[in-house]
Amino acid sequence: MTAAEDQQPRPQDVPSQPLKDGERAELLQQLSNVVLMCANEEQVIWSIFGTFGATNAILLVALFSTGKLPESPFVGPAVSAVGALLSLVWHLIQRRVRGHLERFEGTMLLLEERLGIGPRLALSAWINKDAYGRLSPPRARPLMEACSLVSALSWFVFFLYFVACRHNA
């Protein structure tokens, strides 16, 4: 788990009193909703990742389709600038989706605690640390963010290279 995932949220609003009539069914419904929202956000983040990979591939093909550097002095800087911009936008979108996921997972934790769901049955990684602790690193979400930053840096280096080549020509 990452450092952020290890910080278990413990808001003061989790009552320790027994559940009232009908409250258990309402909390179970809310837990179901949160699980669906988590699944949806996971699908969004992986869709973005796939689209980003395909976009980078298309930009690279546009840049090196002939097997050598583009002859036009404007193609290299333009394509690499677009690649850097898309990488940064992708990083920002990904951070937003990851923030939603962490918020939903925190809500899931609170609901499972309130419902008294034990560690062996809990979906929350904070409660079910034994099962989630067996997952081998590296974690996917931080790697996705690293990919976007490495990509942005690479495109920026390409941009500088093409500008320098154009300047020296």
What's the pLDDT band for 5 if we cut at 50, 70, 90? very low
pLDDT at 155 over 90: yes
Q: Residue 132: what pLDDT? A: 67
Q: How far apart are CA 78 and CA 12, in angstroms?
A: 52
128's enclosing H/E stretch is none
pLDDT digit string, tens, across residues 15-66: 567 888 889 999 999 999 999 999 999 898 899 899 999 999 999 998 888 8
More confident residue, 167 or 112: 112
Q: Residue 21: what pLDDT? A: 80
Q: Which residues contact 40 (CB under 8 A, 6 or more apart)?
A: none
Q: Which of 60, 59, 50 is nearest to 144 (CA)?
A: 50
pLDDT digit string, tens, across residues 96-121: 998 999 899 899 989 998 998 888 78
